Structure 1
Amino acid sequence: MVLEEQSGPAARTHFATADRATPEELRREAEACLGHPVAGFLMQALDGLVLILDVHRQVLATNERVLQVVDGTPDATLGRRPGEVFGCIHVPDSPSGCGTNHACAHCGAVLAVLEAQRTNEPVHSECLLTLRNGEHTESVEFEIVASPLTVGPHQFIAVVLHDLSAVKRRDALERLFYHDVANLMQGIRGWADLLASGVSTSRDTAQKLAHLTDLLDRELKSHHALAQAEHGELKPRVRAVLPLEILVDVGDLLSRHALARDRDVEIRPAPEATIHTDPELLSRVVLNMAVNAVEASFMGETITLSAQFEGPDIRFQVHNPGEISEEIRTRIFQRSFSTKGTAGRGLGTYAMKLFGEKVLRGKVGFDTGPGGTTFWILIAR
């Protein structure tokens, strides 16, 4: 067994039980599981990723597909919990491993297993997971079925996972694309109708159309870049740029956001030191932070854009007075998660991570508390 036994007073948790089976108990349960014909059938016949767990949510056996995905062996997975097998980012900060973090209270996988144990009935659900892959993270969406399985005196849970990431990603991108483009086209059509009817021929109308057309062009490029980044095909176009140029560009784009008209946007002085990065991608990251700040703030509040040195690097920041709730904090960068409850949304914060870390090789994060929320990206000069 890879993990040490954790039980008794030392086993701590913020959600699910922390106790684990002893090595001897695990050995007996694994032998019972692997020797049972039903369990063997499940391991061989079911499509997807199959894991059989004991009452402590520890892995007793997996099918070959799981071992291929995690590049592991049966001995390496024995005794681990699902989040530990797949590399959930919350495991290192959990007091007693998978299931014991505050974030686990919102994990579809943990909830499904616990519900199957409670009701002794199969549970169908979905879960969004953020997994560590080397130095970077990736979001995955699973369909999960957790089913009780009785083997002699033992009560197990058979878990079957189907990766829906490709389908969810495509659906989310399509819905987001049509939503954003339709909004811009509506604005363009309105101003174009004014010109066609002869009601307005002013220079202001022409400028409005030019601005909307520019935004449409940016949206088309942004969605294309997002799709490329998802497949690892987006290459940054690096050049020298001043941090203030990024902040001014973001401030200009933000001023065209409907909600921004009722908020004060402050651009603070920035270091006069050039950085070498892709300014268009960096602007998209900071703009997503700014739009998120605007949507999370109230009329009359101030959104602050700033940049400052952090050691040899530059840290771009967007601050708003609101605080992110505990429930949302752990899921803020997951693809398809949205506080707005709108289908196809929830890619703004995810795109910050995707562009900022996977493409620009920076570090993206946020700090939140009573003093407000600051999203930031740290970029090497």
Structure 2
Amino acid sequence: MALDAKPRRHGAVTTHFASPERTSEADLRREAEACLENPVARFLIQALDGLVLILDANRQVLATNDRVLQIADPEDGNVLGRRPGELFGCVHAHEGPAGCGTSHACAHCGAVLAVLEAQKTGHSVESECLLTLRHGALTESAEFAIVASPLEVSGHPFIAVVLHDLSAIKRRDALERLFYHDVANLMQGIRGWADILASGASSSSTAVAQKLANLTDLLDRELRSHRAMAQAEHGDLRPRVRAILPLEILRDVGDLLQRHALAEARKVELLPAPEDVIHTDPELLSRVVLNMAVNAVEASFMGETITLSARAEGQHIRFLVHNPGEIPEEVRSRIFQRSFSTKGAAGRGLGTYAMKLFGENVLKGQVGFDTGPEGTTFWIRLAR
């Protein structure tokens, strides 16, 4: 299904994607009773493994199994009438004019698409769904395998949805893919320069030794970063706060970025930064800004300029990384999802996810981006 450029109207209600209509409370209760009295619906709820939801024609929950109730996040303690994104805490659930399914981001949600396709075709639909969930101040990524199947009960057209949590598998696969990719690349560089040093082919052993030292430092940083990411996902990472000047962060990132292979054909420019110290974890903050910078390099063309900057905003400070390119509309809502990448099968899909993980869950800041014809700016905003 294609994303509409303009919102559509269904009666008096507007939507950016799926139908916004909602079932009345009285009709919801009648449908829920019919659902729970039906032996097939009861069997599905009680016997199927995973998270099981029965939805009505307006994608609203009529019944669930106990596993859904254990992790659900209903606003008033009641699941009846909620839509799946509202139940699980999807960050986009309330962006649309009529809740889950009606925002721009919902056009790319595997769950919404599967339910709509099952309603349209009358056949079961299998898909995967990547979600960004918010629970209080924390955000987390979740990946599900989903099956949506039509179910008629007493003349009512329902949809049975079964979700299987793939988050642990996806997390392990993504971390392993990233680890082996980055470490293998660094080890290849170390081996190459070590061979040059051993053969005596270079006229300057000091320069080669410096190259080896730089690559070894990068390897050490990568190993610490992977360990920190695993700790952050389990809630075990604590920031090591100390005073530092914003310009020191920018210089550290600029220095590391210059060693990135793609950065050789791009210009990296450091803009002026506030001279007041901030109190944060410099290593984690540098990692966040570096991920933004690497993302900018990978999204830019040869000869283009990437700028690193910081600016004071009252009792906060914002670090910004800008590149000339614009993020396509269909990609924007999925940028921070753990398993999403714009680079196809070769993409690792963790750089932007790590920005959120470290920047918000650990450093307690805000991470976001602005994009348009003038370019793209990723940023992190922190209390000083």
TM over 0.5: yes
Match of 1:140 among 125, 142, 164: 142
Q: Residue 42 of structure 1 aligns to a residue in which SS?
A: helix
Asked whether the 8 Å contact 1:243–1:275 carries over to 2, the reply is: yes
Match of 1:4 in 2: none
Task: Tell me the SS of whatever aligns to 1:77.
Answer: coil
Cα distance in 1, alignment partners of residues 245 and 76 from structure 2: 52
Identity %: 77
Match of 1:222 in 2: 225
Distance 1:75 1:261 in 2: 55
* Structure 1 match to 2:71: 69
The list of structure 1 runs, each at least 4 consecutive aligned residues, that deviate by more than 4 angstroms after superposition, is 71-75
- 163, 167, 170: which is aligned to 1:168? 170
Q: Which residue of 2 aligns with 1:276?
A: 279
* Structure 1 residue 22 displacement after superposition: 2.2
Query: Can you list the C-alpha shifts for 1:278-300, whole angstroms capped at 9, x where unaligned?
Result: 10110000000000111111111
Alignment of 1:365-376 (within 5 A): 365-376=368-379
**Number of the residue aligned with 2:85:** 83
Aligned: 1:297 with 2:315: no
Alpha carbons of structure 1 residues 251 and 75: separation in structure 2 relative to 1, 3 Å: closer
The residue correspondences of 1:335-346 to structure 2 (distance < 5 A) are 335-342=338-345, 345-346=348-349
Per-residue deviation at 1:73?
10
Q: Distance in 1 between matches of 2:169 and 2:18?
A: 30
In the alignment, what sits opposite 1:48? Answer: 50
Cα contact 1:323–1:372 (8 A) shared by 2: yes
**In the alignment, is the contact (CA less than 8 A) between 1:315 and 1:376 conserved in 2?**
yes
- Quote how far apart the aligned CAs of 1:198 are: 2.5
The reply to whether residue 239 of structure 1 matches residue 242 of structure 2 is yes
Indicate how the Cα distance of structure 1 residues 206 and 271 shifts in structure 2: closer, same or farther if over 3 A, else same: same
Q: Which runs of 5+ in 1 are unaligned?
A: 1-6
Letter in 2 for 1:223: H
The worse-fitting range, judged by mean Cα deviation, of 169-178 and 149-158 is 149-158
Query: For residue 3 of structure 1, what is the aligned residue in structure 2?
Result: none
Once residues 61 and 14 of structure 2 are traced to their aligned partners in structure 1, the CA distance between those partners, rounded to angstroms, is 20
Alpha-carbon offset, residue 317 of structure 1: 0.4
* Structure 1 residues 372 and 72: CA distance shift in structure 2, 3 A: closer
CA RMSD of aligned residues (A): 1.5
Task: Output the CA distance in 2 between the equivalents of 1:21 and 1:271.
Answer: 54
Q: How far off its partner does 1:342 sit? A: 3.0
Question: What count of residue pairs does the alignment treat as equivalent?
Answer: 375
C-alpha deviation, 1:344, in angstroms: 6.3
CA gap 1:251/1:217 in 2 versus in 1, 3 angstroms: same
Q: 1:9 to 1:252 in 2, by over 3 A?
A: same
Aligned residue for 1:143, secondary structure, equals strand
C-alpha distance in structure 2 between counterparts of 1:71 and 1:124, whole Å: 25
Instruction: Calculate the TM-score normalised by the size of structure 2.
Output: 0.95
Aligned to 1:180: 182
Judged with a 3 Å threshold, the aligned counterparts in structure 2 of structure 1 residues 75 and 263 are, in CA distance, closer, same or farther, namely closer
- The TM-score with structure 1 as length reference comes to 0.96
Residue of 198, 204, 208 corresponding to 2:207: 204
Aligned-pair distance for 1:27? 2.0
- 1-side partners of 2:178 and 2:10: how far apart? 49
Aligned residue number for residue 92 of structure 1: 94
Q: Distance in 2 between matches of 1:89 and 1:17?
A: 19
**Residue aligned with 1:284, SS:** helix
One-letter amino acid of the counterpart of residue 117, structure 2: E
Aligned match of 1:331: 334
Q: Is the 8 A contact 1:180 1:219 kept in 2?
A: yes
Q: Aligned equivalents of 2:191 and 2:142: distance in 1?
A: 38
CA distance in 1, matches of 2:137, 2:329: 25
1:348, distance to aligned residue in structure 2 (A): 0.3
* 2:253 is aligned with 1:250: yes
Matches within 5 A, 1:282-321: 282-321=285-324
Distance in 1, matches of 2:42 and 2:75, equals 17
Quote how far apart the aligned CAs of 1:131 are.
1.1
Asked if the contact 1:175–1:343 (Cα under 8 Å) also holds between the matched residues in 2, the reply is: no
Candidates 12, 15, 25, aligned match of 2:14: 12
8 Å contact kept, 1:194–1:200? yes
Q: What is the SS of the residue equivalent to 2:94?
A: helix
Amino acid across the alignment from 2:171? R
- Counterpart position of 2:111: 109
Contact 2:146 2:161 in 1 (8 A): yes
